[in-house]
């Protein structure tokens, strides 16, 4: 495994690699690339379905148990499982066709979604069974996320990488907004089984797109398959470079804890006595704020230092979380979630764009 070589100046205070001056062009131009446009569109539709399921699962667990503890268990099953798959996911992305890895993991998530639909529709659902299926889905998603991110550079030209990363982030955030909003409507009309079925079908779109795209070939890592050895080597490299481990720590806190808060949406909806449709809106406002932030980042981020964006966004999202905890009414909750979404995407896009653009891939 070759060592990562960082290019460009790095601001250790925020853990953000600072890029040299770049041209200021609209990032949306990258959608003119056929391969990227196909992959991006399929991802938007499929991830919208995934977020519908993400909203439906805590709703189901709360319906079955009326317990916030089970909401936490469900969040851990989904987020924690994906996190644990990280070291293996990176090796898969390095050593195998990223398109093949994605095809297999997306198919696994599709089967898990069909299983959720079947057990809920048949009346056989139990909290343990739902969580077990979520673990399988989370593991499949975790194994595929590194390949998803690593496939983007193969679908765009080298000078379009920053644009590709930004628009890819916009796709994720768009799904994070549309999915919960649609889930609220589907839960109201068809119940959780409708959300599970739509998600299962949406994976077919990605599978078709993966068959249609033609990624640019890249060399694959050689050597023996030693997960722990490669993980330790990567960890040593990371810990030896303050700016990089700071970036990873910031990304972890910004990604994990706001997502965990969103798992409590059913309890928040109950606290303010709102219906199923409004429950979906609680999560959708976070995504809506993220879309606003994504458009801003895609069009204007090059005018600001990325370290400044991360610092400002971190202060902003912390303030939003405190305000959410003190919110006296449902409208204030919605404002706080939109505020969190804007802050979240500003930080995460600045970090992921900088790291992916300035650090060579592990070979």
| C-alpha distance from residue 165 to each of 84, 86, 168, 169, 297 (Å) | 24, 19, 5, 6, 11
Domain definitions of the chain by residue range: 29-217+224-358
List, in sequence order, every beta strand (DSSP E) within the chain: 9-11, 16-18
How far is residue 299 CA from its own chain's centroid? 21
First vs last Cα of the chain: how many Å apart? 5
Query: Buried b / exposed e across 170-203, counting CB within 10 Å, b at 16+?
Result: bbbbbbbbbbbbbbbbbbeeebbbbbbbbbbbbb
Choice among 28-32, 206-210, 214-218, 348-352 with the minimum mean pLDDT = 348-352
pLDDT over 90 at 121, yes or no: yes
Q: Does CATH number 1.20.1250.20 belong to domain 29-217+224-358?
A: yes
Residue pLDDT, tens place only, 92-115: 888 888 999 999 999 999 999 999
Burial class for 204, CB neighbours closer than 10 Å (0-12, 13-18, 19+): middle
Question: CA 8, CA 20: separation in Å to the nearest integer?
Answer: 6
DSSP designation for 362:
P
Residue pLDDT, tens place only, 222-237: 555 566 666 677 677 7
Q: Could you give the maximum distance between any two Cα atoms of the chain, in Å? A: 59
User: Percentage of residues in the chain with pLDDT exceeding 70?
Assistant: 82
Residue pLDDT, tens place only, 231-272: 677 677 767 767 677 777 877 777 777 767 777 778 888 888
- pTM higher than 0.85: no
Q: Are 358 and 19 in contact (CB under 8 A)?
A: yes
Rounded to the nearest integer, the mean pLDDT of the chain is: 80
């Amino acid at each position: 495994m070759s060592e990562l070589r960082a290019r460009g100046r790095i601001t250790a205070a925020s853990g953000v690699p600072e890029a040299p001056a770049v041209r200021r062009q609209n990032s949306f131009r990258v959608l003119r690339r056929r391969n990227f446009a196909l992959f991006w569109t399929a991802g938007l539709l499929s991830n919208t379905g995934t977020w519908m399921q993400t909203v439906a699962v805590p709703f189901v667990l709360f319906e079955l148990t009326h317990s916030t503890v089970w909401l936490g268990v469900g969040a851990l099953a989904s987020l924690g499982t994906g996190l644990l798959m990280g070291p293996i996911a990176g090796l898969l992305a390095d050593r195998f066709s990223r398109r093949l890895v994605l095809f297999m993991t997306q198919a696994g998530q599709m089967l898990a979604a069909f299983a959720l639909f079947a057990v809920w529709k048949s009346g056989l659902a139990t909290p343990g069974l739902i969580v077990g299926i979520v673990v399988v889905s989370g593991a499949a998603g975790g194994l595929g996320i590194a390949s998803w991110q690593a496939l983007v550079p193969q679908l765009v030209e080298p000078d379009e990488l920053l644009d590709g990363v930004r628009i890819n982030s916009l796709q994720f955030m768009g799904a994070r907004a549309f999915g919960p909003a649609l889930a609220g409507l589907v839960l109201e009309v068809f119940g959780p089984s409708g959300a599970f079925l739509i998600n299962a079908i949406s994976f077919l779109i990605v599978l078709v797109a993966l068959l249609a795209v033609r990624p640019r070939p890249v060399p694959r890592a050689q050597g023996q398959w030693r997960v722990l050895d490669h993980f330790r080597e990567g960890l040593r490299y990371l810990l030896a470079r303050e700016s990089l481990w700071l970036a990873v720590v910031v990304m972890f806190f910004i990604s994990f804890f706001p997502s965990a808060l969103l798992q409590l949406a059913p309890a928040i909806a109950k606290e303010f006595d709102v219906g199923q449709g409004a429950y979906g809106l609680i999560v959708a406002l976070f995504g809506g704020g993220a879309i606003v932030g994504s458009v801003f980042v895609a069009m204007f981020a090059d005018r600001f230092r990325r370290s400044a964006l991360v610092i400002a966004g971190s202060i902003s999202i912390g303030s939003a979380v405190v305000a959410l905890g003190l919110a006296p009414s449902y409208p204030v909750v919605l404002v706080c979630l939109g505020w969190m979404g804007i802050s979240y995407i500003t930080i995460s896009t600045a970090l992921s764009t900088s790291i992916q653009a300035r650090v060579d891939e592990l070979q």
